[in-house]
Amino acid sequence: MRIVKLVLLVLILLAIVLLAVANREMVTVQLLPEPLDQVLDVAVDVPLFVVSLVSILVGMILGYLLEWFREWKYRRRAAERAREAERLQREVERMKTQGKPDDEVLALVS
C-alpha cells in the first residue's frame, strides 16, 4: 500500500510540474469586476500555472475545512465514548480490589 501511495504522489507531482512548464505565459488577474475596476485598480500579472495551482490549493483547503467541520460531531462522540470507557475501566479495577471474593460479576470480568 505504501508503494501505491508513493507512486500516486510521484504521478501527481509530475502532473504539477508538467502543468507549470506548459503554462508559463503571463495572464492578468483582475480581483474586482469591470465597474469597480475604475474605482480601485487591482490587477496582477502572473503566470497561468500560478493561477491554476493557487485555485487547486484554495479548493483543497476549503474541502479539508468543510470535511473537518462535518466530522466534528463524530470526533466529539468518540472522545466521549473513550472517556466513558476509561471511567468504567477504573471502576472495574476499583471493584476488583474492593470487591467480595464471591461476587459473580467480578468473577466474570476477571
Gap between the Cα atoms of 102 and 64, Å rounded? 55
Continuous H helices in the chain: 2-22, 34-37, 48-70, 72-98, 104-109
* Cross-strand bridge partners of residue 30: 43
Q: What is the pLDDT of residue 99?
A: 61
Number of domains the chain contains: 1
Q: What is the pLDDT of residue 41?
A: 79
Decide if 40 contacts 32 (C-beta within 8 A). Answer: yes
Residues listed for the chain: 110
Q: Whole domain around residue 99: which residue ranges?
A: 25-109
Query: Does residue 64 lie within any of the structural domains?
Result: yes
Q: What is the pLDDT of residue 10?
A: 94
Q: Model confidence over 6-57: pLDDT tens digits?
A: 999 999 989 988 988 888 899 998 888 887 777 787 888 999 989 988 998 9
Query: Does residue 32 lie within any of the structural domains?
Result: yes
Query: Does residue 80 lie within any of the structural domains?
Result: yes
Q: Model confidence over 58-104: pLDDT tens digits?
A: 999 999 999 999 999 999 999 999 999 999 999 988 887 876 656 67
Q: What is the pLDDT of residue 7?
A: 95
Decide if 26 contacts 47 (C-beta within 8 A). Answer: yes
Q: What is the pLDDT of residue 100?
A: 60
Cell, residue 106: 467480578
Query: Does residue 6 lie within any of the structural domains?
Result: no
Query: Does residue 91 lie within any of the structural domains?
Result: yes
Stated pTM of the model: 0.62
Task: Report which residue type is found at 97.
Answer: T
